Structures are given as C-alpha cells and as structure tokens.
C-alpha cells in the first residue's frame, strides 16, 4: 500500500512539473530586439533555424488560442456583447495579438539572418 501511495505521489509530482514547466518558455516576447539581433548575429545556420522554428511554433500556438477565444466570444449572445465576459474575452484577444506581434518581430530577425546566411527556410513560412 505504501508503494502504491509513493507511486501515485511520484506520478502527481511529474504531472505538476510538466504542467508548470522547468525551462524557458518558447518564443520569448520580453527579450529586447537589440539582444535578439546580437544573439542572431552570433548563431550558425542550425541554431538560427531552431530559433526561427521555436518562434514560428509559438506564433501558431497563439493563433490557435485566438481562434478558441474568438469562438467563445461568438457564443455570447448579442444582448451580452457589452458585458464583462465579452470584454474579458476581447482583452484576451488583444493580448494575444500583441504577443503575436512581438513574437513575429523576433521571428523575422532569426528568419532574415537565416536567409542571409543561406540556410534552408523551407517550412518556416507563417
């Protein structure tokens, strides 16, 4: 019985760690543009492609989130479109759009530098 409890505790701990994460988030929107440019200048083609892919994936995930929030907003009756729930969803969409803009700006730096160095940009189109 103790082994079962310990096993369940370990499973719970692993689940919590995977949900919270233990590394950097994909597609950093807080890093200053100048730092991103300096970092990109020092990277080789493989590193640039990996970073561009990371940002592309983060952008696509944010776009999927927008679609989900927009669907929720669409489900709100017209008579409640000016209510708090609708305003909160509209704010969520605005925040997601801002994040996409920030991610796209940083993605473009890595993408352009990869192109400049002659790297393979196939599959990186947004």
Q: What is the pLDDT of residues 79-107, one digit of tens each?
A: 888 889 899 999 999 999 999 999 999 99
Cα–Cα dist 82/122, whole Å: 44
Q: What is the pLDDT of residues 3-54, one digit of tens each?
A: 433 333 333 333 333 333 333 456 788 889 999 999 999 999 999 999 999 9
CA distances from 59 to 25, 55, 89, 90, 101 (A): 13, 6, 19, 19, 9
Domain borders along the chain are 25-116
* Threshold 0.75, pTM exceeds: no
């Amino acid at each position: 019985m103790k082994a079962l409890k310990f096993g369940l505790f370990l499973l719970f701990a692993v689940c919590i760690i995977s949900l919270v994460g233990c590394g950097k988030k994909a597609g950093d929107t807080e890093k200053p543009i100048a730092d991103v440019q300096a970092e990109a200048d020092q990277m080789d083609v493989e590193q640039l492609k990996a970073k561009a892919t990371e940002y592309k994936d983060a952008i696509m995930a944010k776009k999927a989130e927008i679609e989900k929030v927009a669907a929720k907003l669409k489900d709100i009756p017209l008579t409640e479109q000016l209510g708090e729930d609708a305003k909160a969803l509209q704010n969520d969409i605005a925040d997601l759009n801002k994040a996409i803009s920030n991610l796209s700006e940083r993605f473009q730096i890595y993408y352009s530098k990869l192109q400049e160095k002659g790297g393979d940009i196939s599959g990186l189109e947004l």
